[in-house]
Homo-oligomer: A and B are copies of this chain.
Amino acid sequence: MNALEDLARLLKKLPGMGEKSALRLSYHLIKTEPSFNKALGEKIATLQDRIHPCPVCGSYTEDDICRFCSSDDRDRSQLCIVEQAQDVVSISQAGIYNGLFHVLGGAINPLNGIGPAQLSFKTLLKRIDEGSFKEIIIATNPTEEGDTTALYIKQILRDREGLTVSRLASGLPIGGDLGYVDKTTLARSLRGRIKL
């Protein structure tokens, strides 16, 4: 086995990478500028030495505390709860949310052995107790597990006074076509219809 096949064997383990595409990528890399490969390789090899979860919110950072939690410019009355750290990036890029984040580390999924104890609910409640939040925005995925998790959060927060709990709207994706939208999404967009 030579270095190319060796590389393809590792690349094949990445998500969405089949045997053919792994080999094609290896052959692409061998024709690439060597300095690019050196940079990419070094970044992959050292990624976990440089990045770790923020001890406050759970999103990834190179610093002691992440840029959201340590920022003075963010609205500390809003907390957005997401399943995964990458969701923080997506919501942050949407450009209209300026509050803080909390990463659960997944969604409640009893069949896979993930209950509330496996997710970061303890630190979530501690943050809410010690913080000055007025609104909790649940941004779990619109899936069965995300729905269960959203309901669970709503329930554990039901006795907190002065705390609004909301969830991201589900409905038609912008630019979508009614004819191609699945019926569950359509049902949700009907149930959540907005008065004009």
Distance, CA A7 to CA B11, complexed state (A): 16
The count of identical subunits is 2
CB pair A37 B27 closer than 8 Å? no
For A4, what are the chain B residues with a Cβ–Cβ distance below 8 Å?
47, 51, 60
Binds B, one of A81-89, A118-126, A142-150, A172-180: A81-89
Within 8 A of B (CB), among A1-54: 2-4, 6-7, 10-11, 13-16, 21, 23-30, 34, 36-48, 50-51
For A64, what are the chain B residues with a Cβ–Cβ distance below 8 Å?
none
A61 interface residue per 8 A CB criterion? yes
Q: 7 nearest interchain CB pairs?
A: A41-B45, A41-B44, A3-B50, A41-B41, A27-B86, A7-B43, A10-B40
